[in-house]
Amino acid sequence: MNQTTSYLNPDVVARLGSMELRARLVVEGFITGLHRSPFHGFSAEFSEHRQYRPGDELKHIDWKIYGRSDRFYVKQYEDETNLRCLIAVDSSASMNYASEGHITKFQYASYLAAALTYLVLQQRDAAGLALYTNEVLQYLPSRSKRSYASELMHALEQAQPKGSTGTAQALHLLAERITRRGLVVIISDLFDEQDSIMQALRHFRHNRHDVLVMHVMDPREVDFAFRNAAVFKDMETGIELPTHPMHLQQSYRAAVEAFSTEMARGCRAHNVDYVRITTDKPFDMALREYLVKRTTILARG
């Protein structure tokens, strides 16, 4: 891993000084990786140009690029918006969990949201942000100006996880609030009733939004690999439960996999994209999921 792509590592990103710096370096590391992958074709989208399309005015062709590459590219302008993307980040207290050696789920979610914001705006799309618990705490509507990034980054930097989980309730409120059709990216640990979450996702689909769900979990929430007797504390209610993890590990893992499988199946049935990510994984997988989703939407027209 070279210095640039190391910024895809959550632990490295956590040591950076500001949210804007984290976002920029994560995306730069991601783009570097694209040059070495089957997604290489996407990398052209990160400049201030796009490939010429039949019907484009010839006066917008950049002849300097043509001279260097023998390919036609046209200059893009601030008002060229292909997609409206709202990123909804779960800010409830449960997102503040981190097992030893990892960043919290909320840190991971906020860094990912910042990188997505930077990526969206670099592609001349419109980016917006919602922070929620069991209600919508903050809502910044989607805009395409690059200068808007600072406002979105500031909101993420100032946010602190708190309050009760109510993903379904908050998403219903958000679905009513978004007035223009677009892509909604939900970043959450999905600590809520599965049927309620699916109803909320259907609400977005009923309003003709595309939806991408990024299910963020700590590695220990997936494998339950705690070795010693422990007291587990609910981060929202404060209720404590003493137990021996080894006695529960098999049934716990089965329950987590069943939940994820059912979520994936339910999402697929309603044309919602679903991906589960753990906080020890590099950010490129999630960013690639977004690019695939974006390409599918634009190809569909």
Contacts of 93 (CB under 8 A, 6+ apart): 133, 161, 162, 163, 164, 165, 235, 236
Domains, the chain, ordered by start? 5-75 (no CATH), 84-300 (3.40.50.410)
- For residue range 5-36, list pLDDT tens digits in order: 889 999 999 999 899 999 999 998 988 877 55
List beta partners, residue 187.
Answer: 89, 214
- For residue range 102-149, list pLDDT tens digits in order: 999 999 999 999 999 999 998 889 999 999 999 999 999 999 988 999
- Confidence check: pLDDT of 42 > 80: no
**Which among 4, 27, 7, 2 has a CA at the least distance from the CA of 282?**
7
Averaged pLDDT for residues 84-105:
96
Structure confidence at residue 39 (pLDDT): 47
**Which among 40, 41, 46, 44 has a CA at the least distance from the CA of 26?**
46
Structure confidence at residue 31 (pLDDT): 85
- For residue 176, what are its two tokens? 């009513």
Quote the pTM value.
0.82
More confident residue, 71 or 128: 128
Query: Which of 66-80, 179-193, 257-271 is predicted with the least confidence, judged by mean pLDDT?
Result: 66-80
SS (H, E, C) 243-283: ECHHHHHHHHHHHHHHHHHHHHHHHHHCCCEEEEEECCCCC
Structure confidence at residue 230 (pLDDT): 61
d(Cα 220, Cα 200) in Å, to the nearest integer?
27
